[in-house]
Structure 1
Amino acid sequence: MKLGKFILLLLLFSIVQMLSAKGKTELKVLQINIWQEGTVVPNGFAAIADEIIDKDADIVLFSEVRNYKGTDYIQRILTALKSRGASYFGKSSDEKLDVGLISKFQVGEQRALYDLESGMGGVLKSKIKVGKRNFVFYSLHLDYTNYACYLPRGYDGVTWKKLENPINAVSAIVEANRKSKRDEAIRDIIRDVDGEEQSQSFIIAGDFNEPSHLDWTVATKDLFDHRGAVVPWDCSVLLEKAGFIDSFRMMYPDPVSHPGFTYPAFNKDVPIDKLAWAPTADDRDRIDYVYYRSKQPLKVKATKIVGPVETVKYAKKQDRDSKDEFLLPKGVWPTDHKALLVTFGF
């Protein structure tokens, strides 16, 4: 009898989910770097689940999935969410893939474009039908080496050591940046998108480990220790040329009033030296993104930064100093990045 009731409830839940999806015309996408699955912050894993529920995300794209000690992060987070009364779907990711995705809707075809052994970073492609719309999601955590935005800040982007002098020549910055595998990964993703049926809507989101050319502009060349550099960062330039739209900059085009920094985020539960990799510099940047492209109507209704309002500047806590809008943490903030919550209408 109990088993029969359970099966009936499961069937009813599936029907409700199906009917809800059919009538869906809005989608809330949360992109978050979870900093080693929340293990660096006390109670960080539980906080990840709390944030997903508090922000009521429909789709969540994770960076820094680790599957520590043979555990399955996706199944662990699904269980944690279920214990809080929230039902999500997700497929277990390979232990060599440091990205993941969960959804309130059934996840269809899913495959990795890259894993950690490729040197390209992690890229996971997932297909999900929401309402009458077919979406293709790419969850990214790109190559963190050759972090060239440190050069004008006076730090090496490979060793993280302080330089004798800052390097602000754009040609040198671009050359150093292209030693990473980030631009190759983005080119491959664009080729993959172009090979898909174009009636689908495409969303690329994750930790790119690279700033945007929309942020390193003439208007900001003397801010944030850019030291005069106006840099055409490869990933953002390639995506823009391919027709992808940066959801944050679409809503907030001014990089001076709304810098949108996602890294480093201040975290009250972590020693400041774990948050400051360039302690004598203002190394704040926007390196986490939600991009989209769609031939079918797709509108960004809202883009919010999720996380503490404070950042880290010169190895010290920096109180709010921009007009950016924030959705504050419910309690513990589980990471050294800030997250993005983008609401799409379709």
Structure 2
Amino acid sequence: MLKVQLTGILIWLCINAVQAKGVEIKVLQMNIWQEGTMVKGGFEAIADEISRLEPDIVMFSEVRNYHGKMFISRILHALKERGKTYYGENSPLDVGILSKYPIEKQAPNRPSEGDAGSVLKARIRINGQTVVVYSAHLDYTHYACYLPRGYSGVTWKKLDTPVTDRIKVEKANRESMRDEAIFHFIEDSKKEKGNIILLGGDFNEPSHLDWNEKTKDLWDHHGTIVRWDCSTMLMEAGFKDAYRTKYPNPVTHPGFTFPSDNKGVPEQKLSWAPEADERDRIDFIYYMPSKRIKLKDAVIVGPAQSIIRGKRMEENSNDRFIEPLDVWPTDHKAVMVIFCIK
């Protein structure tokens, strides 16, 4: 009997030691460009990259469920063929979530009226902690970061002159529904106090941390400093931008995610403002800081080349890239962040 009791105590101590030390999780955010259909072999490349990177959580943007074929079911099957077990649930939204851990519950999270973009919410249990994951793909219209670059963010046509008045840029930005979606997310996240909260997605909007005094004369910002709504709202609500927390200097580590080069696609199909430097960081992973989660690392996944003024060019920043082995399925770069959950 004593031996059994001692064995039970040892097992209990081992379990608690592991939980105290924490478990690392890799979180991948990826815009998959119409489910990879814009690139030859794109769908298989999505599965190949996930299989290679082995993220614990994946947040997808641009899920389409073409012809009634549910993307999440298809990608789960493709990963299983590669010997990888993931969990996920289909959704009518254009976002998706995969997890190595079973998903306890999943549901849309967005305002009941209007088209504020898609936000999907899932509840996952990891290392004894409830992790609440939100995957977002925000309104792509009124892409106001093109105004200082001399392009319309509505028609995508070249303007007679760049718009460098900060007030005008911010006003144009608020005509989108992105801020409404983030407001709704913040309000919902307040219900999850005490849980670990992650938000990832293609915001179709830069960060105010990237359009500041240091960068006002770079990347065709033309002297403009902008307090972009979504990043400002999230910061004021207490959320941390994982990439910018790891790399606080936007000059040395701009972390551009769009437009990415893609060797399988002609340059003209990768650029929306071909005479401008339109590079921006519009794909993000945010987290609510707490004692139970620690940021360990962040990296850009995708080609080390971008499209600059309509041409393929190598990035010369200090950003780290995990480059694709072969086909890259999208016109965005992905973001991968490593956390430790205690």
TM-score by length of 1: 0.91
For 1:199 and 1:148, the matched residues in 2 are separated by 36
Unaligned stretches of 5+ in structure 2?
1-14
Taking only the aligned residue pairs, the percentage that are identical comes to 53
Question: Given residue 105 of structure 1, which amino acid in structure 2 is its aligned partner?
Answer: Y
Alignment partner, residue 137 of structure 1: 133
Q: CA deviation at 1:118?
A: 3.7
Alignment partner, residue 179 of structure 2: 183
Q: Is 1:221 aligned to 2:220, yes or no?
A: no
Q: CA deviation at 1:294?
A: 3.8
Question: Given residue 255 of structure 1, which amino acid in structure 2 is its aligned partner?
Answer: P
Give the secondary-structure state (helix, strand or coil) at the position aligned to 1:219. Answer: coil
Deviations for 1:269-293, whole angstroms, at most 9, x for unmatched residues?
0010110100000000000000000
Question: Given residue 309 of structure 2, which amino acid in structure 1 is its aligned partner?
Answer: Y
- Of 147, 153, 157, 2:149 maps to 153
Query: Is the 8 Å Cα contact of residues 143 and 182 (structure 1) preserved in structure 2?
Result: yes
Q: CA deviation at 1:297?
A: 2.5
Question: Given residue 214 of structure 2, which amino acid in structure 1 is its aligned partner?
Answer: A
For 2:150 and 2:271, the matched residues in 1 are separated by 14
Question: Given residue 71 of structure 1, which amino acid in structure 2 is its aligned partner?
Answer: K
| Cα distance change on mapping 1:51 and 1:149 into 2, 3 Å | same
Alignment partner, residue 249 of structure 1: 244
Question: Given residue 263 of structure 1, which amino acid in structure 2 is its aligned partner?
Answer: F
Alignment partner, residue 56 of structure 2: 58
For 1:109 and 1:85, the matched residues in 2 are separated by 25
Alignment partner, residue 105 of structure 1: 101
Give the secondary-structure state (helix, strand or coil) at the position aligned to 1:195. Answer: helix
For 1:296 and 1:133, the matched residues in 2 are separated by 12
For 2:112 and 2:328, the matched residues in 1 are separated by 26
| Cα distance change on mapping 1:219 and 1:302 into 2, 3 Å | same
Q: State the number of aligned residues.
A: 323
TM-score by length of 2: 0.92
Q: Is 1:232 aligned to 2:252, yes or no?
A: no
For 1:143 and 1:319, the matched residues in 2 are separated by 29
For 1:124 and 1:84, the matched residues in 2 are separated by 26
Query: Is the 8 Å Cα contact of residues 115 and 123 (structure 1) preserved in structure 2?
Result: no
How do residues 318-329 of structure 1 correspond to structure 2 at under 5 angstroms?
318-329=313-324
Query: Is the 8 Å Cα contact of residues 267 and 311 (structure 2) preserved in structure 1?
Result: yes
RMSD: 1.4
Deviations for 1:202-236, whole angstroms, at most 9, x for unmatched residues?
00100000000000010100000000001000000
For 2:45 and 2:113, the matched residues in 1 are separated by 29
Give the secondary-structure state (helix, strand or coil) at the position aligned to 2:326. Answer: coil
For 2:338 and 2:30, the matched residues in 1 are separated by 15
- Of 236, 260, 265, 2:260 maps to 265
For 2:289 and 2:244, the matched residues in 1 are separated by 17
For 2:269 and 2:182, the matched residues in 1 are separated by 29
Q: CA deviation at 1:296?
A: 3.4
Query: Is the 8 Å Cα contact of residues 200 and 296 (structure 1) preserved in structure 2?
Result: no
Give the secondary-structure state (helix, strand or coil) at the position aligned to 2:38. Answer: coil
- Of 105, 116, 121, 1:125 maps to 121
Q: CA deviation at 1:115?
A: 9.0
Alignment partner, residue 4 of structure 2: none
Q: CA deviation at 1:199?
A: 1.5
Q: CA deviation at 1:109?
A: 1.3
Give the secondary-structure state (helix, strand or coil) at the position aligned to 1:136. Answer: strand
For 1:320 and 1:51, the matched residues in 2 are separated by 21
Question: Given residue 69 of structure 1, which amino acid in structure 2 is its aligned partner?
Answer: H
Give the secondary-structure state (helix, strand or coil) at the position aligned to 2:27. Answer: strand
Q: Is 1:34 aligned to 2:29, yes or no?
A: no
Give the secondary-structure state (helix, strand or coil) at the position aligned to 2:234. Answer: helix
Unaligned stretches of 5+ in structure 1?
1-18
Q: Is 1:89 aligned to 2:87, yes or no?
A: yes
Q: Is 1:296 aligned to 2:294, yes or no?
A: no
Alignment partner, residue 67 of structure 2: 69
Kindly report structure 1 stretches of 4+ aligned residues shifted beyond 2 Å: 114-118, 294-297
Query: Is the 8 Å Cα contact of residues 116 and 122 (structure 1) preserved in structure 2?
Result: no
